[in-house]
Structure formats: structure tokens, C-alpha cells
Structure 1
Amino acid sequence: MPHRLISPRTASPKELDALVHVLDGADIIIHRSEGTITHWSIGCENMYGWTREEAVGEKVYELLETQFPEPADTIHAQLKSHGFWQGEIIDRHKSGHLIHVATRCVLVNLTDGDLAVIQTNSDVSALRRAQEAVNAREAHLSSILDTVPDAMVVIDDSGMVLSFSKAAEKLFGMSSEQICGRNVSNLMPNPYRDSHDGYIDHYLKTGEKRIIGYGRVVTGKRADGSHFPMELHVGEATANGERIFTGFVRDLTSKVRIEEDLRQSQKMEAVGQLTGGIAHDFNNLLTVISGNLEMIEDKLPQGQLRGLLKEAQDAAADGAKLTGQLLAFGRRQPLSPKPADLGQLVSGFSDLLRRTLGENIKLSTVIAGAGLNVLVDSSQLQNAILNIALNARDAMPRGGSLTTEISRVHLDADYAKMYPEVRSGNFVLISMTDTGAGMSEEVQKRAIEPFFTTKDVGAGTGLGLSMVYGFVKQSGGHLQLYSETGRGSTIRIYLPAIGSSGSQEVQQGPEPVESPLPQGDELVLVVEDDPRVRRVAVARLSSMGYSVLEADSGRRAMEVLRADDKIALLFTDIVMPGGMTGDELAREARNLRPDMSVLFTSGYSEPGLTETDGIIGSQWLRKPYTARELASKVRELLDER
């Protein structure tokens, strides 16, 4: 609003004396235009500690050591042009402490032709301290809410969202501006959404609580429509006479997934023990059956009965093979482990695989590095590889490619925390990736269960992957399955590496001291739909000195990229839900920021199976990756910019 001009009034010294006399208790200073004090009220004596005799004749702004909110020349110019000036200044008391003062200065013409300034002051120090205390408390509370991992949502008694914390924005994938003023039921899927307002009305009418005061596991809905399990704690308070409810939300996605993995592992352990015991006993029965059939065969003359007997013997042999597979799953098959170089073993086995797969499937074998020694039953390992290859062939009826890659990897403590059954240490990895039809999430969960198969009746027993799983676990290793419908599958076998002495290198104590990891201070955007993997990546990069932003989908990542032009590197998973894959995200990001570095990651073995070839200058990091591998790749890409 523009300043209103006040024409300076004319006053005599007697009139100014009378003014101060009448308002002597007020905080009034009258001084000449150059600052010499002519009148000093009793109120000013009380406010500043200087007596009238000490103050009169002194330069006001020198005496009080005044601090202005803007240059003094600017204030004097405004005073002369407008006739007044008002604002907040800081003066110093005679004892030395500072006083915050709200002041108003009015220009007056004296009868002798000089100018004077009437300055009225109010001590607002207490108000300023109170405001600073409130600001400090608000900043403290804001820092807590921005830092605490639990999301916070505040609603009124009609269900409208009043406050939405930073953690809530990340968890639900929407900003506070998008949800504040809307009903909190927008964060819930049905049937909770339609029933929510009824819960509040019921509580307000009856006082009967359903959630308030204790925790409850419910289902939340993100902005992209995906659902997730969450733990909800609700508290009640009254603010300005209005009832409000504060909800603290904890994402249980990782916890539920770990519990599911643990339950699956325990289930497979129990099924394995049961299956192995049954197979063992059944083998005894088959031994009796086949032995008696052999003895009968010796006593039978040539003829039709010998043909029937031969069919019975073949059926008993098939039964023995079946029990052998069951024993493999139950980890009760006899193994003869010996030191072997997996690079040589798999290479020598490639010709057999090529003949088995046929001409319409391209077979590739990649051996990375040396030191690929493990203690393993070579024949059983070849049998496991053959089973995986046969499954891949069946998944590619019109042809495709199968890539086998052997490399030495280190699984660190971060990786082991995500998978309860995995030990950290040095392993040799056999990774087999096909370009077949892939598996749905439901099929993946049951893929290693005995007798589970997606093939037609009579086309398979459902024991192939079960046998592989049992063999790998019996050999002290770990098996992982990555798959997406329409994008193929990757089976990864981790076997404990051994040194030249034949001893296993699985880590039991502290990791050996290595050179410091490459560091940096650039801004990195991590895009990963698995919250466990995303948290590990963010923590690792932060520990290396980088500033890190995160997103759980490609769409959310693009919002972050548009909002911040300082992002130097995009670190993204390839396969993600939400309608945008990692390579599609990278292309849009490069269109927006051509100079941005791009680092891809995935559980698939071969970058060629994705569409990342068109992203110039991008690099690839295969899961699971160590902190050192991540640090080196990120630093290498950023140094090339």
C-alpha cells in the first residue's frame, strides 16, 4: 500500500514543551533533524536508563546506538519526502542490553525555520522474544516431523486433511497441496474409503473407539493407485475449541515382505523335510518292488508276461528317478562335492545345452574374471543347469535367447539383511537369463514348490526348480528368481567361493580393510519400487557424501526431475510398476536434461535384454551390487560429465 504524505506542521518550542509535559509518561523523544535531542520524556528515562539531563544535547542515534532495518539515508529521505517514517529498530539500553522498539517519527517545522522530529517509541522486546520462541518451537517441530520416518496426517472431525508431513508426501506419493482440504478417505482403498466418515460420525455420537489410542494394521492407497499395508496410530486433541485427530502411519511393506520370505523359507524347509522323508521310504519300497521283479524275470519263460514285466520294471525305474528328484528338493540326496572351476565346467557343458535347446534358441555364455572355484557335485550342478535350460526352452516356444553368465560376487551385510536365509561373503554366481514369457508374481511365489507347474497335464512334474533349489541349499548356496510377465526370467545360483586351499570364503568375521570408497557431493535421484532396496541405495549414497532424492516409480521420478534442475545422476531400476519402465524414464529424463548421467540396475543378467541401448553414455549395474561397485560406477559416470 502506498505511503500517505503528511505535511509537516509548524510548532514553537513552547508547544513542544507542553506536548512532552502532557505526555511525559509516554516514550517520546524530540530531536533536531541532525539528531540532537531537545526533549526526553520520563517514559524514555524508564525505557532507556538515561536521565533527561544525560540525554538532552546528545545525538539520539549515537546515544542509543540505533540499528535500522534499512540504510539511515533512505529513512531520512523518506522522512523528508513523506513527512513521517515508521518501523522497527533496535536500540541499546544504558546498561548495554538491546531493546526492540516499534517507532514512529513525524517531521515538524519549528518557528525558527529549523526542522524537528517527534519520535514515539514502544518497547516490543517481550513480543519479539515470544515470537522467536514460537518460531524456534515451530522450527524444532518441523525438523522432527520432516525427519521422523513415520508419516503424519492431521484431520478435523469432518475428515478433512489439515496437515500432511514430508514423510507422508513420500509415502503416499502426493504433495500436501494435493491432499490438504480434501477428505482423508482419498488415502484409502475401498471398502475403508466409503466407510471412513461413518466411523468418525459413530465415534462423535457414541464415544466408541475403533482406532483412536492404539495401533492397527490397515491398507493405504498411493497416488498411483497402488495399495500397501500400513500401521496406523491415531491420537485425539482439541485445538481452538475444535476436535482434531492426528494419525501416525508406518509403511509395513518391507516388514510384510520379509515376513513372507521367512514364512516361505520355513514352509519350504518343512515341505523339504516331509518330502525327503517320504521319498526315502518310497525308495525302500521301490527297491523291494524292482528286486522282486528282477527275480521273477529270471524265472519267466519268453512270452507276453515278460513284456508286462518289462513295463513294470520301467515304471519302477521312473519312480526311482522321481524319488531322486524329491530327495534333491529335500536336500537328502547323496552329494560328492569336489573343487571345480565353474567357468570351465559350464563351458564344457555348453555343447550339450546347445543340442538340447535346438536351433531356434541362441545360447550365449559369458565368463567374467577368474577365481571361479567352488566345492560342488559337478554332475548334480550340470543336472540343475539342464533343468533351468529346459524350463527356459519351454518358455520360448517361438525361439529366443538364453544367456549364462558366471562371475565372482560379494554379498555384503546390507544384502544379507534383506534376505534372512542369505549369508554375507564371497560367492560364484551362475546367472541364466531367458527372453521367454516370464512369470507373474503369483507364479514366482510358488515356482520352487514341489509338483507346482504351469505346464499342461503330462508335460512336466513340477520338480525341476524344486530339485535345483534343494541342491543349491544343500551345497550351502542361495537361489534367486527374477521375472516379469513378457520380459523373461533370470535364475541366479550363488555357490560359496573357495580359495586355492579349498576352504570356503564365506565371510564369518569383519570384512577386510579396503581403500576408501570414492566420494562425491552431487545430487543423485534414486528410482526403485522395492522400498528395502531403495532404502539401502539411498543410505549407501548418502554415506558417500552425495545428496539423494528418491522416487518409487517413473512417474514420480519425472515430477522430482522437473522440480529440481540440480540432479546430476539418475540411478534407476529397469522393471518397475506404474506404467513407466526405467529405460522409458531415462529417455524422458534425457529429453528434459541432456547432460544428466544415467545408471541402470536390474536383477536381469544382460543389458541387451532391455531397451537401454539407445541411452548414450549410460551404464549398467547388476543386482545385487556392493557399495564399492555402486560408488565406482557413480563416480565414473559423474567424472565423465
Structure 2
Amino acid sequence: MKLKKISKIIVIALVVAALCVAANFYLDKLYSSLFVVTVFIACGLIISFQCCRVDREKKESQQFICQEREKAEKSLENERILKAIFDSVSDMIWQVNGKTGIMTVNASARKTLNIPPNAVIHVSDITSGKSLQTAMERINHRITNRDVSDVFPPFVYNVHEFKNPGGKEIPVETTTAPLINENGEVVIVGVSRPIEERLRRESDMAMNDRMHAIGILAGGIAHDFNNLLFVIRGWADMLRSYDGVDKSPNINKALGKIMDAVDRATKLTQQLIAFAKGGSAAKEIGSLADVIRESAEFALGANSHCRCDFNIPNDLWLCNMDPFQMGQAVQNLVINAVRHGIPKGGTIRIEAENVTLKESNCLLLKSGQYVHFSIADSGTGIPLEIISKIFDPYFTTKDKGEEGNGLGLSVAYATIVKNHNGYIGVDSKMGEGTTFNVYLPAVLDRRRRREDVPADPTKNIPKQSLRILVIDDSLANLALLKDVLQTLQHTCDVAEEGSAALKIYEEAHGSGNPYDLVITDIMIRGGMGGVEFSEKLSEKYPKAKIIAMSGYADEYSEKFSAFLGKPFSFSSLGKVIDEVMIK
């Protein structure tokens, strides 16, 4: 540009020189001088104008350069800001080129999917199977039709899976929008959010609801079943008390078989009740580490082909727990690992640690201190299609006739979750093994205390004949109890529900021949139950003695003097009656 302007000035100078020579040749001296002066003045003006123009263009050029530089710097600053926002968002943000399948992802996506910072990502690297096939079909359809909105309406929401380089699938919810870039290529922009913890919470909540419903059903079955067992056991006891029966070995043997069957059935119903309600816990503050070690080693027993590898710190926090119930839960988990995880032998890894959970944790537990322990095997794993059923009562993968009744994990669930306000979950992968994770509330106060410890039975109880009122909604139970009490030298009247029993009791009291004792079932169908009856009776007759019995309930009103769980033996009934009467 500068050379061009200098050339113009040289040309002007040459033209002026030529004009001066011509003027000197053709004009006289005076006119020649005037002409030369005029020409020089004109040339000066032309040159001055040209120089001003050059300066103006130079300034404009400098201003243009400055403006372009400012635009470039501002563009770079905006790009840095956008990239900072892009990488600071906790959700995964990505875009995929529809033609090449190459993806651009933010820092959160790289962290979640474990992708190296500078790695080039193709859509097939993070999607597989049906998700990849569907995505590529839609992308190709867009490219072919060139009509983005018809193929994928803007902001489509769906739930699918991404995968990391290790092959682990990560469930996400994604919102996508299609774009066409400046090169005319289809680009899909998406925002994805991992939902693994949310799905886990939803699964746990669904399982809790299902277990609650099953627990109600199991409790009702246990109640009715215990009433039947009570009648069977009762009449078997009555047969043994008849004259001459003790002299017949065959009858005694048959009665023994009946009683053995009743005892086994009673243990089964107790497990159902433990599942339904968690049972009555005799809690004390103690070391969970000791319970875990002793119970796990006891559960292995004769299974010398298996062993436990413990990793439990010495400073493990204490827990307020029922050692017996927690021991049974640990035994059930270890037995499950032996029978189902490593039946041919192996190592069961048991680890424990102190943890602090925050609010809104994925375990649905309150914030605070917990003891976490895990029981893991390296067996075959649990198939995905049955993992949601393993805590259901009577669910088992064993063939008919094999050892196990399908209640072990159900009882463990009830003990840990319902009775100890804890959590139990399972992680399993086919071919790698299964891990059960348990969380129990910790107690940082190291003072030990005992809860719900039953009083020692009273000794040297005198025998006496009593007038007793029995309340039960089962006619079979009433007939049996009446015969038993009469056999024990007591006088007995019966009622089928609480309202009728109150009238009978008041009439007897008004006649001057009151009842010494009332025995009532807690759960009465179609009438006043035992709890309501005891409260109304005690309100009017504070010194009334009431024994509660039930085939299901294990918690009862403070108005009761004692409690008997069905089925109970007649010797137990007689002993409790005598103990209550001397209080």
C-alpha cells in the first residue's frame, strides 16, 4: 500500500517537471515563472491531500485492527467462560456429530464415565446394545431426511444406560435436542444425569412396601397357625394326663412324635413372626465385632471347606442391639453365602467400619453414626432377575427336599431393618460373587445397659384353686383351656370377646363371688380385643389380674400381669398362673 502511494507522488513530480520545461520553452520569462509557481502550488496541494488521505487510511486501518483484536479477545473470553460453565456443571453435557459419531463431553461426563482427559470419544464408546442401535438409527435417519424436527422433536426425554471403559453400565436420564451446525451437519446436544442412587432408593422403598405387606400377611398366617398348634399340643398334653396312657409305649411314642412336630412347626411360626414384626428385642449396648466373629464361626460349623477372613478394626463403635437376634441374622447371611455362593468351598470376607451418614443418603437412613459391616463371597453371584426377591419369605433357589426353608434372609431383613432401625442391601455380579451390606445405628456412649430383661421366675409358689375367666374367639381354644384348667383344679368360665367378658366379670363381682384371674387372647376377631378389655377392666377394678396370650403379638398392655405365647404347654400355663397370683 505504501509503495503504491509513493509511486503516485513520483509520477506527479515527473509531470510537474515536464510542464516546467515546456513552459520555459514556449512562454516568455514572466509567464514562465508564473506558470511554474502555479504548478508547484498545485502539486503541493495535491501532495498534501494525498498525505492526509494516507494518514486517514492509516488511522482507519489501525482502528479496524484494534476492533478486530477486541472482538477476538472478547470471543476468546466468552469461549473461556462458556467452557468453564460447560465443565463446572455437575450434569453430563455432551454433543455428538451425526455424520462422524464423534462426541464432545464436559468434565463431569469424563469423570462419571472414567474417560481420560484428551481421549477422542465415539458414540459407540459409551453406548452399547439397544441404546447404541437406536441412537445410530435416529442419527442416520436425520442425515438422510434433513428434517431434524420430524425425526427427533426438540428436547426429547428418555432413560437409558451409558457404559464406562470397564463395561459397567450407568443408568441415566437424558434430555436431547437436535441442531444443524454451520457446516450443515446434524449435531445432537444432550444433558444426562446419573440416576443410579435414585433407582436404588426407589427399589428400596418398593421393597420396604412389599415386605410390609408380606409381613402383615405372614403375621396373620402365624396367628391362625399358632392357634391350631395350640389345640394340637393341648390335646396331646391332655392325652398324656389320662390314666393308663403312661403305661402304653406306643401311645407315648406317638404323642412324642406329635409334640416334636408341634415344636418344629412352632419354630417355623416364630420365624414368620420375627419376619413380620422383628420380634421382641432384649437390647443392650455391646460390641458388634464380637457378635459378628462368634456368629460367623458358629455358622460355618462343620463346613471346613469354607473359612472367614475378618477385617474388623479394634475401635469399632458399639451398638444398641439384641445380641441373640443379630447373631442369628449374621448366621443366616453366612449360611446363605456357604450354601448358595460357595458350595464347593472358598473364603467369606467379613469387613466392618465406622461411618457417618449425612441427610438424604441413598440408604434412606437418618443422619448420624453407624456401624457398617459386609459379608462377601466370591461365588457365582445372584441373577439379576431374582435379586429383588431374595428377602421374600419362602423364596429359595434350592430344589424341593434340599436343606433350607427360604426364611433365613427374610428373618435377617426383619431383624436388621424392622427391629434395629438399620439397613441391609445386596450387591451381586454374575461370576464375581455377592456382598451383603448392613448398617446399624452406633452408640458413642460406652456405658452398657440392658433393656427388656425378664424378671427371674418366683420360686416356691403355693398351689390354690382359682375361679378363672377365659376370653378367646376360637371355640376350640376355649374348650381346650376349660378342660385344662379344670384338670389343674380351677373353676373356669368362658367368653368369645371382651364386651361379653366385662358383663360376666361385673356380674360375678356383684354377686360376691368374683373372678381371681382373667386369661384373654390379645387379638379377637369381631369384638373387643384383649388390650381394650384390660384397659376398661383395670379402670374399674385396678387390682384385677389379667394374663394375655397370643399366637402373634409379642408386645402388650402394661395392664397385663403376664404374657403367654401360643402354643404353650400346660405346665407353663400352671406356672404362670401361680406366679401371677402371688404378686
Structure-1 separation of matches of 2:126 and 2:46: 61
Alignment partner of 1:377 out of 302, 318, 322: 322
Query: In structure 2, do the counterparts of structure 1 residues 265 and 210 end up closer, same or farther at CA, with 3 Å as the change threshold?
Result: farther
Q: How does 1:532-547 map to 2 (within 5 A)?
A: none
Q: How does 1:270-281 map to 2 (within 5 A)?
A: 270-281=213-224
Where structure 1 has 5 or more consecutive residues not aligned to the other structure, the ranges are 1-6, 27-39, 49-98, 102-121, 505-641
Structure-2 separation of matches of 1:13 and 1:203: 62
1:329 Cα deviation (Å)? Answer: 1.9
Q: Does 1:316 align with 2:259?
A: no
TM-score under structure 2 length normalisation: 0.57
Residue equivalent to 2:284: 338
Decide whether the 8 Å contact of 2:295 with 2:328 is kept in 1: no
| Equivalent position SS for 2:328 | helix
Aligned partner letter, 2:209? Q
Aligned partner letter, 2:335? L
Decide whether the 8 Å contact of 1:384 with 1:467 is kept in 2: yes
Structure-1 separation of matches of 2:55 and 2:4: 24
Structure-2 separation of matches of 1:348 and 1:42: 101
| Equivalent position SS for 2:281 | coil
Residue equivalent to 2:554: none
Structure-2 separation of matches of 1:491 and 1:45: 82
| Equivalent position SS for 1:251 | strand
Residue equivalent to 1:216: 158
Q: How does 1:516-555 map to 2 (within 5 A)?
A: none
Residue equivalent to 1:142: 83
Decide whether the 8 Å contact of 1:431 with 1:493 is kept in 2: yes
Structure-2 separation of matches of 1:150 and 1:380: 44
Query: In structure 2, do the counterparts of structure 1 residues 21 and 217 end up closer, same or farther at CA, with 3 Å as the change threshold?
Result: farther
| Equivalent position SS for 2:231 | helix
Decide whether the 8 Å contact of 2:320 with 2:442 is kept in 1: yes
Residue equivalent to 1:44: 55
RMSD (Å), alpha carbons: 4.6
Structure-1 separation of matches of 2:125 and 2:314: 58
Residue equivalent to 1:471: 415
Q: Deviations over 1:557-601 (max 9, x none)?
A: xxxxxxxxxxxxxxxxxxxxxxxxxxxxxxxxxxxxxxxxxxxxx
Decide whether the 8 Å contact of 2:296 with 2:331 is kept in 1: no
Higher-Rg member (1/2): 2
Where structure 2 has 5 or more consecutive residues not aligned to the other structure, the ranges are 15-42, 451-583
| Equivalent position SS for 2:361 | helix
| Equivalent position SS for 1:235 | strand
1:463 Cα deviation (Å)? Answer: 1.1
Q: Does 1:417 align with 2:364?
A: no
Structure-1 separation of matches of 2:399 and 2:169: 33
Decide whether the 8 Å contact of 2:126 with 2:162 is kept in 1: no
Structure-2 separation of matches of 1:235 and 1:210: 8
Decide whether the 8 Å contact of 2:148 with 2:179 is kept in 1: no
1:471 Cα deviation (Å)? Answer: 0.8
Structure-1 separation of matches of 2:271 and 2:370: 25
Q: How many pairs align?
A: 410
Residue equivalent to 2:73: 132
Aligned partner letter, 2:363? Y
Q: Does 1:179 align with 2:122?
A: yes
| Identical aligned residues as a percent | 22
Residue equivalent to 1:570: none
Structure-1 separation of matches of 2:294 and 2:162: 53
Structure-2 separation of matches of 1:486 and 1:317: 40
Instruction: Between 270-279 and 187-196, report the one with greater CA deviation.
Output: 187-196
1:470 Cα deviation (Å)? Answer: 0.9
Aligned partner letter, 2:158? R
Alignment partner of 1:328 out of 258, 274, 288: 274
1:337 Cα deviation (Å)? Answer: 1.4
Query: In structure 2, do the counterparts of structure 1 residues 202 and 287 end up closer, same or farther at CA, with 3 Å as the change threshold?
Result: farther
Decide whether the 8 Å contact of 2:379 with 2:434 is kept in 1: yes
Q: How does 1:403-442 map to 2 (within 5 A)?
A: 404=350, 409-413=354-358, 417-420=361-364, 422-434=365-377, 436-442=379-385
Q: How does 1:489-638 map to 2 (within 5 A)?
A: 489-498=434-443, 499-501=445-447
Q: Deviations over 1:591-636 (max 9, x none)?
A: xxxxxxxxxxxxxxxxxxxxxxxxxxxxxxxxxxxxxxxxxxxxxx
| Equivalent position SS for 1:249 | strand
Query: In structure 2, do the counterparts of structure 1 residues 292 and 246 end up closer, same or farther at CA, with 3 Å as the change threshold?
Result: same
Q: Deviations over 1:260-304 (max 9, x none)?
A: 233233333333343234323433332233223332444484365
Decide whether the 8 Å contact of 1:337 with 1:375 is kept in 2: yes
Aligned partner letter, 2:405? T
TM-score under structure 1 length normalisation: 0.52
Higher normalized helix content (fraction of residues):
2
Decide whether the 8 Å contact of 2:93 with 2:192 is kept in 1: no
Higher normalized strand content (fraction of residues):
1
Q: Does 1:389 align with 2:334?
A: yes
Alignment partner of 1:455 out of 387, 398, 401: 398
| Equivalent position SS for 2:391 | coil
1:467 Cα deviation (Å)? Answer: 0.8
Decide whether the 8 Å contact of 2:148 with 2:178 is kept in 1: no
Query: In structure 2, do the counterparts of structure 1 residues 445 and 380 end up closer, same or farther at CA, with 3 Å as the change threshold?
Result: same
Decide whether the 8 Å contact of 1:159 with 1:185 is kept in 2: no
| Equivalent position SS for 2:201 | helix
Structure-2 separation of matches of 1:12 and 1:243: 50
Query: In structure 2, do the counterparts of structure 1 residues 342 and 129 end up closer, same or farther at CA, with 3 Å as the change threshold?
Result: closer
1:437 Cα deviation (Å)? Answer: 4.6
Decide whether the 8 Å contact of 1:202 with 1:208 is kept in 2: no
Query: In structure 2, do the counterparts of structure 1 residues 385 and 199 end up closer, same or farther at CA, with 3 Å as the change threshold?
Result: same
Query: In structure 2, do the counterparts of structure 1 residues 374 and 100 end up closer, same or farther at CA, with 3 Å as the change threshold?
Result: farther
Decide whether the 8 Å contact of 1:159 with 1:183 is kept in 2: no
Residue equivalent to 1:282: 225
Decide whether the 8 Å contact of 1:187 with 1:220 is kept in 2: no
Aligned partner letter, 2:213? A
Decide whether the 8 Å contact of 1:479 with 1:493 is kept in 2: yes
| Equivalent position SS for 1:419 | coil
Aligned partner letter, 1:136? E
Structure-2 separation of matches of 1:250 and 1:138: 22
Structure-2 separation of matches of 1:186 and 1:472: 39
Residue equivalent to 1:259: 202
Decide whether the 8 Å contact of 1:342 with 1:406 is kept in 2: no
Residue equivalent to 1:81: none
| Structure with bigger RCO (C-alpha 8 Å, 6+ apart) | 2
Decide whether the 8 Å contact of 2:289 with 2:316 is kept in 1: no
Decide whether the 8 Å contact of 2:9 with 2:47 is kept in 1: no
